[in-house]
Structure 1
Amino acid sequence: MTCQSCASKVANAVRDVPGVTDVEVDLATGRLTVAGEADDLAITAAVTGAGYSISQT
């Protein structure tokens, strides 16, 4: 992600995943924090579907 628009695009895509209750995207660190009971694969699919890559830590 290179701008706030990118961060918003990722956050909005992840918010649509069933089971997600909260999403935070830190543009400076590139970190996505997700709360809720959503499936990790569904979150990954949402991020990649929005055009971005993801690595889990």
Structure 2
Amino acid sequence: MTSQSNTPIKTVSCPTCGTPVSWTPESRYRPFCSERCKLIDLGQWADESYRVPTSPPDELGE
């Protein structure tokens, strides 16, 4: 599948279910395949299932 300029359309996997998603303006929920997968991911952030790793704060006075 290519766009009008013969550039290949990039395809990514939905982070929630793994379904292939075309990276185009028509893919409304990209990188997710659907609103459902998008909301599942948002819920996992909200209940802190996902966390961004950080390093411990520097000790003061050392």
TM-score, normalised by the number of residues in structure 1 = 0.32
Which structure's CA Rg is the greater one?
2
The higher-RCO structure (CA 8 Å, 6+ apart) is: 1
Q: Determine which structure has the larger helix proportion and give its number.
A: 1
Q: If the length of structure 2 is used for normalisation, what is the TM-score? A: 0.29
Q: Which has the higher strand share?
A: 1
